[in-house]
Every structure is written in structure tokens, then in C-alpha cells.
Chain A
Amino acid sequence: MVDESRRDFLKIAVAGIAGLAAGGVAGYIIGGSSSKNRILELESEIERLRAKGEKILEKELKVSNWSLYINEYLLDVFSEQTGIPRGKIVYDTYDDPNTVLAKLEAGTSGYDVVILPDYCVEIAREKGLLMELNRGLIPNAKFLDKKFQNLPYDPEGKYSIVYMWGSTGFAWLEGVEEVTTLAQIFDPDYGFLPKYRKKITMLEEAQEVICSCKAYLGKDIDDWSDETLEEVKEVLIRQKPYLAAYAGATVYSEGLRNGTIYVAQAYNGDIVRLRDESVAVEFGIPEEGGTIWTDSFCIPKDAKNIYAAHEFINFLLDPAVSAVNSQFIKYANPVRASWDFIPDLLEDPAVYPPEEVQENMWLMPSLSDEEREKIEKLMIEVKVH
């Protein structure tokens, strides 16, 4: 907290002055020019401290993030660089961002930095749970690619900065028919659904399911009219008997691994990880498109270690750091200046989708409360049908 650092500073200043006085007295007693030199020494020491005072960081930091989403050695580097003891950097992982969001909604999370997906950032922002970022403390933000600034869920970019991004598409096991169009996923007559009955999963996030359905129907992503949603509901209800589950990585990763699931609507990173494990799985984005999702840094309103929080964000936005991080976790980062350092990631369409593909993709749309209610009703009706 600012007051603490100011208090520390004052303590140092007072000590310095006391020391000076003591030194002065001692010097007077000892006598001569040596005391003058001593005074000059002490004075410049205080000057140096004062310069540092602008940047006095708190001595701890609490971060909450997805699991397996950072190169943990970077935390050691951060600790060295800032002097925050490594033991005081708490890095927690959550299973579901909605749980962190629920804690923020309840009014208390205890964290200084939280990395949340786009749809959570929007809710948090709207409910006033986030602190405005002090961009002055995050100079590295200038390295961000324009595409990842001022996104629909945080139009003025005041409350969040993108950490990593990726795409939502479909994964299929080797030997299974490739997923090239959403018609395969939503239209039973196409033949794909019956062929892989009960072996296909869709995501748990309602927005993902509904948006991809809208893309299949040729509707605009921001179209939330009742007629369109009625159509979406029909399609989803027709699709449901063929689905194994609405599932997140907890289920589909394990499912793909042991052959319980053949096709999954999935996040690219999870599939890249499976691929690295030598699971024979492919990832692709159907021609109608997919979501470009983002996970962003946010600072909860009740964060205590504000300077450290900003410093942490700034650190991870450093192009070199970002490159190292991306290389390790195999996710795409928004820091344009880092892209030169990770050529092999850029070439991997499962990490960085090629330009032509990106053109069909959409960012997670911004939602109003009314639209959220509609989504809630729709999905519950589909699930209970």
C-alpha cells in the first residue's frame, strides 16, 4: 500500500537525518574535514533513496491464474528483479475463473492480480469489481499489438490488459473425419453427428456454444434478437441427443486421451498440450469461424499490493519475457514486439491462426444484462429439454 511505502520512506529519511545528526555531532567531536565528507556521503545516500521512493514496491504479491499458464521460473526472475521475496509471491491456480469471479462478487478475493477470460472481465468490470489500471506504471503496454487493445469487453482498456490469447475451434482424434464446417456439428442430416453419436462434446460456456451456432446459421455475432435465439435454441435442441456432454477441458482432455471422446469443441491450448503428449489429435477452426478468446490481467478493487501488481503486469509484457513465457506454455501472446522471438509458434496454426482464418473469427462479444438473461434461459431450456 502507498501509505506503507511512504512510511518506510519516512523511516529511512528519519533514520538518515538522525544518522546525519549523529554523524554531524560525532564529526564535530572527531573534528575536521572527515566529518564534512561523511555528511556529503549521507546526503547523497538520502538523495538516492528519494529517487527510489517513487518506485518503492510492496514486499508481497498475490496472483491468481489458470493452471499451467506461466513459466514458473519467471516468478523467480521477477522476484530477483524487484526484490520481492519469492516466498511472498503467492501464485494460486483456479479450476474455473467463475469461482474467482464469485469471490470478487462477494467482495473479497485477497488477490492483487487476477488473470481472467474476456467474459469474466466484462462482468467484473460492469459490477465495479476492478481497479482502474495506472498505465503510467505499465510502460511495456506500448508493445501490445493493436488488435488486442480496446476490446469489446473493456472498450477503453482501463481495467484490463491482455495476457495471452487463443482460439476456440474443434479437436478431433486421428482417424476421425476432419471438422471443416459447423454444419457437421449442428446439422444431424449432414451425417457427422449420427456417425459420432455420444462422442462429441461442446463447451460449457454458453456464449461459445451460442456464438458458434449463430455462425452456423449465418447470423451476426451481435445478433441477440428473440427470433435468432429461438432458431439457435431449435438447433441446439436437435443437436443435444448426439452430444456426449457440455464439457470443459476437465472432461474433454481426459476423454480425448482415452478415446471416450472423438470430437470436442475445444480451446487450442488444451489441444496443443495433448499433441505434445503424443495424443493423436488435430485442431482446426471451421470455415464459419471461431472465437478469438483472451485472458487478461486485472487488478481487483480491494487489492493491497498495487505497485507490485502493476510491476508484475509490466514485467510479463516485456517482449523478451513474453516470448519466453509463450514458448513455454505454448500460447499466443499479444505482445507484438515479442513475436520476432518465437517464429516456430507463429508458424503453428494451432497457436497463431493464419490471417485468412482470423478474418472469419470473432472476439467474444460484449453482453448486456438482458442478453445474459436470455442466454441463461436459452441454455437452461436446452439442457432440461
Chain B
Amino acid sequence: MMRFIVLLVFLFLYIPIAYVVASSFIDGGEITAKWYVKLFEDKVIVGAFYNSLSIALLSTFFSVSLGTIAAYAFLRGSQRFESLLYTPIVIPEITEALSLLLFYKMLSFPLGFYSVLLGHIAFNIAFVFVIVKARLSTQLRTLEEASLTLGADEIQTFLRVTIPLALPGIVAASLIAFTLSWDNFVKTVFTTGPGFQTLPLLIWSQAARGVVSPSLSALTTLMLLISFLLAYLYAKISTRRE
């Protein structure tokens, strides 16, 4: 029964994807791979892709690092400042984006790669914090104390007990942070400068003229395929202790 629901949900998630993948192979009624060829010739799309990727990877790395240790810090400590970490989730994106723009202007901070990255990290920290915190628990404390009693020092405990226990939460948080950054539009469009375009910006600007080049569908299909294969291979290879 449960497996049935799970299947349904995955179906629900993937039907639109099938549509996008299919549309990357169609040109006016015939099946063709021409959009894939065009994709590699299109410097603008490729450039935007790399920009998106670098921002997403970097913002994930930093936000996960900062957010995770913050989650660890608030495990049982004072709750007073904790709510400060939730506000970025509450603010409407447009408001946050414009506030950052005004802030950068105040500091005469140049708009471009760094201004975008810094904005993304701020936003992502909050999401990472919530997810990792959900993962860590009071169980952790007992296990930590056990580890310390058994003679390990703080650092060893942290590396060998805490982190492994937190890992599924960190993985989940990383996936979310990456996705939020990768597909972000509102914050990015207002904090970017001339010449720095990410994939969502490119896609939306084309859509505003009513045309989205199927090469973009081709690009995303490729991305999906590669990620899928990598994940599959990794799972096959790993021998996980249960």
C-alpha cells in the first residue's frame, strides 16, 4: 500500500519532467537532436550554466557549513537568539531582494558574482538550520557523553559521533540549499550586475518574449540524466552498513 502511494508521488513528480524531456527532442513536429547540438554552440547558455553552477555549489558549501554548526549550537542552548535564524524564511523574496540591492548600493558594493553569492548564502543558512536541527536530537547528547566517557576528546567525538549522526540531515539540507540556489530568480535578478547571468535569469528573459529556446530543455535533460546516472552508480557501488 505504501509502496503504491510512493509510486504515485514519484509519478506525480515526473510526469511534467517527461514532458520537458520530450519537448527537448521535438522541433515543429519532428523528432530531432538538433537542440542538443545547438546547445553546445550557444555560448550564452553555457556561460549561464556555469554561473548558476558555481553560485549554487559555493552557496551550498558555505550555508551548509554555517547552518550546520549553528544548528549544533542551538541543540539545547538558549532559545533567545534562535528565532533570529528563522526570519529569512519569513520575508517575502521580493522584499529581501530589494533590501539587499539597497544595501549594496549603500556600500557601493559592485553588483555581480559576489553580490549574488552573498545573498544566496544568507537565505540558505536559515533553511539548512531548520533541516539539520530536525535531524540532531537529544539522543545525540547521550551518545556524545558516552563517547567522551569512553575516552575520546571533543574533536574526535565531533568527527566520529556527531557528524556521522547528522549526516542524513546534512545531505538533505545540501540538496535543498543547492536547489534553492540553482533555481533562484527573484533574489538573483536584483543583486546581479551587467554581464553576470544565471540560467533562471536567461530563461525568464526569453520567456518574457514568449520564447524559451528548447536548447534549455535540452540542457536540463542532460543535467538530469547525468545526475541520475551519478546517483545510481554511487548507490550501486556503496556498501552501506545498516
**Contact flags B79-115 to A (C-beta < 8 A → 1, else 0):** 0000000000000000000100110110010110000
Say how far B36's CB is from chain A's closest CB, in angstroms: 20
- B195 in complex: contacting residue of A90, A99, A253, A270, CB < 8 Å: A90
- Size band of the B side of the interface? 20 to 34
With contacts A99-B189, A106-B105 taken as known, whether A68 is within 8 angstroms of B197 at the C-beta atoms is: no
Against B, the Cβ 8 Å flags (1 = close, 0 = not) of A254-278 are 1000000000000001100110011
- B195 and A249: CB pair below 8 A? no
Q: A67-B205, A95-B205, A278-B28 are in contact. Are A249 and B210 (CB under 8 A)?
A: yes
**Contact flag A110-B194 (CB < 8 Å), given A103-B101, A278-B28:** yes
Shortest distance from the beta carbon of A327 to any chain B beta carbon, whole Å = 17
Shortest Cβ gap from B208 to chain A (Å) = 4
**Residue pair B98, A102 in contact (C-beta under 8 Å):** yes
Q: Which residues of A contact B201 (CB under 8 A)?
A: 95
Q: What's the least CB distance linking B148 to chain A, in Å?
A: 52
CA distance A363 to B98 in the complex (A): 31
A67's partner among B101, B110, B194, B209 (CB-CB below 8 A) is B209
Decide if A107 touches B105 in the complex (CB within 8 Å). yes
Q: Which of A81-126 contact B (CB under 8 A)?
A: 90, 92-96, 99, 102-103, 106-111
Instruction: Tell me if B197 and A92 are in contact (CB < 8 A).
Output: yes
Evaluate contact between A102 and B101: CB separation under 8 angstroms.
yes
Question: Which residues of B have CB within 8 Å of A269?
Answer: 209
Name the residue on B nearest A277 (C-beta): B28
With a cutoff of 8 Å between Cβ atoms, the chain A residues found around residue B105 in the complex are: 106-108
CA of A308 to CA of B119, assembled, Å: 32
A129 CB, nearest partner CB in chain B, Å: 13
CB closest chain-B residue, reference A271: B210
| Residue pair B190, A103 in contact (C-beta under 8 Å) | yes
Give the interface size class of chain A.
20 to 34
Complex Cα distance, B212 from A179, in Å, reads 27
Q: In whole angstroms, what is the CA distance A269 to B209 when docked?
A: 9
Q: What residues on B are CB-neighbors of A252 within 8 Å? A: 210
B101: A residues at CB distance < 8 A: 102-103, 106, 108
- Complex CA distance for A278 and B28, rounded to whole angstroms: 9
C-alpha gap A277/B214 in the complex (Å): 13
Asked if A249 and B208 make an inter-chain contact with CB atoms under 8 angstroms apart, the answer reads yes
Bound-state CA distance A96–B206 (Å) is: 10
Q: Once the chains bind, are A66 and B194 in contact (CB under 8 Å)?
A: no
Q: Which residues of A contact B212 (CB under 8 A)?
A: 254
Q: Name the residue among B108, B190, B205 with the largest chain A CB count within 10 angstroms.
A: B205
**Shortest Cβ distance from B175 into chain A, in angstroms?**
27
Q: Which residues of A contact B74 (CB under 8 A)?
A: none
A273–B111 touching, CB < 8 Å: no
Interface of A is mostly: mixed
A62 adjacent to chain B (CB < 8 Å) = yes
Whole-angstrom distance from the CB of B27 to the nearest CB of chain A? 11
What's the nearest-Cβ distance from chain A to residue B184, in Å? 14
A362 interface residue, CB < 8 Å from B?
no
Q: Does A64 contact B (CB under 8 A)?
A: yes
Q: Chain A 180-202 against B: per-residue CB contact (8 Å), 1 yes, 0 no?
A: 00000000000000000000000
Inside 8 A of B40's CB, which chain A residues have their CB?
Answer: none
Given A66-B209, A249-B209, A273-B210, also A110-B193 (CB < 8 A) = yes
Cβ contact of A96, chosen from B102, B108, B208, cutoff 8 A: B208
Selected from B190, B193, B204, B208, the residue in CB contact (under 8 A) with A102 is: B190
- Does B159 count as interface, using CB distance less than 8 angstroms? no
A110 contacts B111, C-beta separation under 8 Å: yes
| Chain B residue contacts of A277, Cβ below 8 A | 28
B207 at the interface (CB under 8 A from A): yes
CB distance from B48 to the nearest CB of A (A): 11
A92 touches B195 (CB 8 A): yes
Whole-angstrom distance from the CB of B118 to the nearest CB of chain A? 16
Whether A78 is near chain B, meaning CB under 8 Å from some CB there, is: no
A106→B194 CA distance, assembly (Å): 15
Q: Is the CB of A95 within 8 A of B111?
A: no
Task: Say yes or no: B194 contacts A111, CB within 8 Å.
Answer: yes
Given contacts A103-B190, A106-B102, A278-B28, contact A93 B210 (CB under 8 A): no
Other A-B pairs beyond A99-B189, A106-B105, 6, CB < 8 Å: A68-B206, A95-B201, A109-B194, A110-B111, A273-B210, A278-B28
| A contact residues vs B (CB 8 Å cutoff) | 62, 64, 66-69, 90, 92-96, 99, 102-103, 106-111, 248-250, 252-254, 269-270, 273-274, 277-278
A-B contact pairs, 10 of them (CB 8 A): A62-B194, A67-B205, A92-B195, A93-B205, A93-B206, A96-B208, A250-B207, A252-B210, A253-B209, A253-B211
